[in-house]
Amino acid sequence: MTDHWIAERMHQIDASGIRRVFDLAATMTDPINLSIGQPHYDTPDEVRRALCEAVQAGKNAYSQTQGIAPLLAKLQEHVDRTYGHSDRQVFVTSGTSGALMLALCTLIDPGDEVIVFDPWFVMYRHLTTLAGGRVVRVPTYPDFRICADAVQSAITDRTKAILFNSPANPTGAVASAAEVRALAELAAERDIALISDEIYRIFCYDEPFHSPAEWNDRTIVIDGFSKSHSMTGHRLGYVHGPARIMQQMLKLQQFTFVCAPTPVQWAGLTAWDVDMSPRVDEYRAKRDFMVKALQNDFQIHGGQGAFYLFLKTPWGTGSEFTAAAIQENLLIIPGSVFSEQDTHVRISLAAEDDILQRGAEVLCRLAQNGPHRS
């Protein structure tokens, strides 16, 4: 037996509940799939062409760890123009997940605490565990608002970082300017690292997007091309923050990811200049359609951004409601995947309109008929 080879940390990391649903989808015939957390549209044509051209042009070797110079220049110019921080440095990462891992492994010592907002993106807890830390959750139910006073109460002498995500997965909530500012100022005042996961930044439907870096010049911002440009499989992200922290993260990237995939970086250079606002408008319309279709049968909060709705189940637990939905050929994600509570389900808006229509019909029928009688 080889169980003794396995590090103890691995027993603290569960297999992804989302991946289990994806595996289930592969066994079903024509499922109504509202589980997927990636855009339903393909990578823009010009970006795919740029990727192919980079490969054919022989741009296939390692790049500098920090990224190719033309993409770095574009990103740094944007960051400088947006924030005007003299000490803010950017580099290219292997997806936003890579950036999250680098940030947490750079900042967290064993026993350190990381504040996360419940519900949270599934990776936050497990990457914190990998770094030797532990998460301290701040609940945001029922309306998924960010309360600085609640964060203040969760801070201890072991608090090292706060993980913040707006627009948020799984709730689709977008924090207001006042909420973001209060959190940013609290982190600065208490000298706590603030990591802002901004991968859904362009998907804000009702109010302008605000980053905590507007009020806290030490914020570590993580962003990328996966969601906006439907490049989830390309693994292209970037991170920016205080130069000293970025240099430590770069050192770790050298010995882990080495660099983001070189041809993809050249594709990212093209992607940066592609206007994705029509897709944002399309997803706003999808959000409006689903809220209107579901609002009489479900309690809906959040949904101001990203492409998710986090619905309170009208009966049973989130897991029970999900099991009933699967019996109706509808794939959704139980809220317990993202939370200590099992009271909600996540649906994705990243689907064709006819799929959303079919999904809404099943959801409303389940809500109205109750368990086992759909």
Q: What topology is assigned to 45-271 in CATH? A: Aspartate Aminotransferase; domain 2 (3.40.640)
SS3 per-residue string spanning the chain: CCHHHCCHHHHHCCCCHHHHHHHHHCCCCCCEECCCCCCCCCCCHHHHHHHHHHHHCCCCCCCCCCCCHHHHHHHHHHHHHHHCCCCEEEEEECHHHHHHHHHHHHHCCCCCEEEEEECCCCHHHHHHHHCCCEEEEEECCCCCCCCHHHHHHHCCCCEEEEEEECCCCCCCCCCCHHHHHHHHHHHHHCCCEEEEECCCCCCECCCCCCCHHHCCCCCEEEEECCCCCCCCCCCCEEEEEEHHHHHHHHHHHHCCCCCCCHHHHHHHHHHCCCCCHHHHHHHHHHHHHHHHHHCCCCEEECCCECCEEEEECCCCCHHHHHHHHHHCCEECEEHHHCCCCCCEEEEECCCCHHHHHHHHHHHHHHHHHCCCCC
Q: Say if strands 237-242 and 88-93 run parallel, antiparallel, or are unpaired.
A: antiparallel
Chain Cα centroid distance, residue 231 = 14
Structure tokens at 311: 């619905």
Task: Provide the pLDDT for residue 6.
Answer: 84
Measured CA to CA, the distance from residue 230 to residue 262 in angstroms comes to: 18
Measured CA to CA, the distance from residue 133 to residue 125 in angstroms comes to: 9
For the chain, 374 residues long, give each residue's pLDDT as a single digit of tens. Answer: 577 788 888 887 776 555 566 566 566 678 999 998 899 999 999 999 999 999 999 999 999 999 999 999 999 999 999 999 999 999 999 999 999 999 999 999 999 999 999 999 999 999 999 999 999 999 999 999 999 999 999 999 999 999 999 999 999 999 999 999 999 999 999 999 999 999 999 999 999 999 999 999 999 999 999 999 999 999 999 999 999 999 999 999 999 999 999 999 999 999 999 999 999 999 999 999 999 999 999 999 999 999 999 999 999 999 999 999 999 999 999 999 999 999 999 999 999 999 999 999 999 999 999 876 44
Measured CA to CA, the distance from residue 15 to residue 345 in angstroms comes to: 18
Q: Say if strands 193-197 and 333-334 run parallel, antiparallel, or are unpaired.
A: unpaired
Task: Provide the pLDDT for residue 71.
Answer: 98
Measured CA to CA, the distance from residue 335 to residue 207 in angstroms comes to: 26
Domain extents for the chain?
3-43+276-369, 45-271
Task: Provide the pLDDT for residue 312.
Answer: 97
Task: Provide the pLDDT for residue 4.
Answer: 77
Task: Provide the pLDDT for residue 252.
Answer: 97
Task: Provide the pLDDT for residue 122.
Answer: 92
**CATH 3.90.550.10, applies to 3-43+276-369:** no
* Residues 342 and 336 sit within 8 Å (Cβ to Cβ): yes
Task: Provide the pLDDT for residue 372.
Answer: 63
Measured CA to CA, the distance from residue 248 to residue 103 in angstroms comes to: 9
